[in-house]
Chains A and B, each alone.
Chain A
Amino acid sequence: MREKIIEILNSIKKNVDFENAEAIIDDGLLESFDIIRLTTRLADEFDVEFTAAELVPENFNTVDAITEMIEELAE
């Protein structure tokens, strides 16, 4: 799952080291438009449903946080 998430992140924004990034949102690596693009792609890929409640920086700041959020949504 982790690899796929990194692949999607890189398709949205090239040349960013998402794997080692510790504050993807707080450092401005992704903007609000990118987050909508990302959630659309993640929802398709992992068959999960996002709500506005999930769209908080803590859920998107690291690849691990994104992975954890998708696992929780899939439950």
Chain B
Amino acid sequence: MSYISVGFAILTFICFLLFYFAPLKLKKYILLTASCVFYICSSKYLIILPVVNTLFIYFLSIKIDKVNEAFNAKKKELSKEERKEAKKQNSKVKKRICTVEIVLSFLLLAVFKYMGFFTGIINDISESLSLGSIPLLSLMVPLGISYYTLSIAGYAIDVYRGTLKAEKNYCKLLLFTVYFPHIVEGPIGNYKSFSSQLDKINKPDFETFMTGIQIILFGLMKKMIIADRAGIAANQFFDNYEQYGFTTSLAGMILYAVNIYFDFSGCIDIVRGVSCLFGIELPENFRQPFFSKSVQEFWRRWHITLGDWIKKYIFYSVSMSKINRKIISLCDKIKNEYFKTTVPMFYALAFVWLFNGIWHGTSWKYILYGVYYYIIICAGLIFEPLFEKICAKLKINREGKAFGIFRILRTSVLVVIGLTLFRADSTYDFIQIIKSVFVYLDPAGNISDYYNSINLSLLDFVIVVLFTGLMFFISYKKEKGTDFIGWFAEHKRARWILCTAEILVIIILGVYGSSFTRLPFVYAQF
């Protein structure tokens, strides 16, 4: 069931009515029921997977809590030495339980999402050794498995680290796993925040309701007016790239960047708005990413919850691991203070970007996608002192406006190249597209052939350009600190006019109807 479908609208409407009139105690159970209905409509009997996975995590996390409680009760009676030893033992037991939780969750993910990929690798190896091949195993992927696995694993690690108490109510934890607004494309949940909001859940007031509606309409505009049009044009280019030259390739790459940004951020707006109707604020997933001055900053503003998850559970864990501490002590010999503390990060960053690449999909190009960002970020760290010296010598003001714009453009170029790799059907296709832009430089580029082959009119392109410009202006104002939601909350008449205008714009300019096949949300496939 898509977030842009009559079925989803009906489900949300019924759920909202029941939620609104239900007694406080029952509200979270209504959300849980709606989430299960949504899941069953999309993945049928596979709902058993998140249910069982959550059950395991639920029991084992309670076990970790009990181990902790036993240690805390005992530790006051122990001497300092004994306490240290008991702490070590306690930590070992907890680590064992947590490892079981994580291995189990990721094993399910590996079996259901990556089995085809792994079988393919085994076949490639065995065929090269003339050993024959095994049948290709590819199972139906359960809805949102990549997202809920991270959410529930994050919860398990937080309990293990002691930053969160284990949840005693299984239904509450299951709701966190399968909550229908965030199950398909995230944002990846944080249990602490989700749980505290569930505890305070109440009848939504008019202001919260209107905020939700505003965010939903904004997301629908992004998806139905910009993303779906840009997606048609981008797909035409990527499916036939070998026919086109420099200009078309550049246009195709930019159109895909426009498509994926408005598709993903539009979806997140819709689900954040829907969740707002139930009084639950989902975390922000985008913060004007195309205003980033570096690739690192881009990843702090794009798919924020994935970046946060990887930072919290992979980057910090690997950085603090025994191996990394050994690398740190080896690097102590480096005299330069900057490199002494920077080089050990390359080890942790390798895990970060490998994970980021693999998480996105079951193909080598996604691994290369992670490697691409790994190289850029490491190169940035290595050359940072050199850049500083060059800028000082050329008297370039690194904090100045002109240099800031240069950095934004440089980051955008790198990101668009990264997204091309992300979208291309294979690594070979990606290389050919990049060659057509940077090597062949054929300015004629058959752009008229490209334009004629797309099922879009000139008006469609004008709409994409105008609305992208409008969204850029809104992002720019947000970047400068304008709080649109807050402003419209104070100017109620303007809000009514805005909402009415948005509905009309979606009806008139949105792409829908029997002649149009809606492109599925890009990130729903991960």
Contacts and interface: CB of A to CB of B under 8 A. Distances in A.
Interface in A3-18: 11
Given A32-B311, A40-B328, A55 B320 contact: yes
Nearest to A75: B80
Contacts of A11: 337
Contact of B317 (A32, A33, A39, A52): A52
B162 interface: yes
A44 B169 CA distance: 43
A52 B316 contact: yes
Interface residues of A, number: 16
Contact of A36 (B161, B163, B312, B319): B319
Interface string A33-52: 10011011100000000111
Contact of A53 (B162, B315, B348): B162
Contacts of B62: none
Interface string B433-459: 000000000000000000000000000
A50 B319 CA distance: 10
Nearest to B300: A31
Contact of B345 (A36, A41, A55, A56): A36
A28 to B, nearest CB: 9
Interface residue tally on B, bucketed by range = 20 to 34
Name the prevailing secondary structure of the A interface residues. Answer: helix
Nearest to B83: A75
A52 B344 CA distance: 16
B163 A40 contact: no
B341 interface: yes
Looking at B311, B312, B317, B320, the one whose CB has the most chain A CB atoms below 10 A away is B320
Interface in B336-352: 337, 341-342, 344-345, 348
B341 A37 contact: yes
Contacts of B341: 36-37, 40-41
Nearest to A58: B163
B320 A51 contact: yes
Interface in B158-216: 161-163
A36 B348 contact: yes
B507 to A, nearest CB: 41
A73 B311 CA distance: 22
A32 B314 CA distance: 12
A53 B319 contact: no
A37 B320 CA distance: 11
A11 B296 CA distance: 22
A62 B101 CA distance: 34
Looking at A51, A53, A75, the one whose CB has the most chain B CB atoms below 10 A away is A53
A50 B317 CA distance: 10
A41 B338 CA distance: 12
Contact of A52 (B80, B320, B337, B342): B320
Given A37-B341, A53-B161, A32 B320 contact: no
Interface string B265-306: 000000000000000000000000000000010000000000
Nearest to A34: B341
Interface string B468-490: 00000000000000000000000
A39 B317 CA distance: 13
Given A32-B311, A40-B328, A55 B316 contact: yes
Contacts of B344: 36, 40
Interface string B56-98: 0000000000000000000000001000000000000000000
28 contacts: A31-B296, A32-B315, A32-B316, A33-B345, A33-B381, A36-B319, A36-B344, A36-B345, A36-B348, A37-B341, A37-B342, A39-B320, A40-B328, A40-B341, A40-B344, A41-B341, A50-B320, A51-B161, A52-B161, A52-B313, A52-B316, A52-B317, A53-B161, A53-B162, A53-B163, A55-B316, A56-B163, A75-B80
A-B pairs, 10 with minimum CB distance: A53-B161, A37-B341, A52-B316, A52-B317, A55-B316, A52-B320, A36-B319, A32-B311, A51-B320, A40-B328
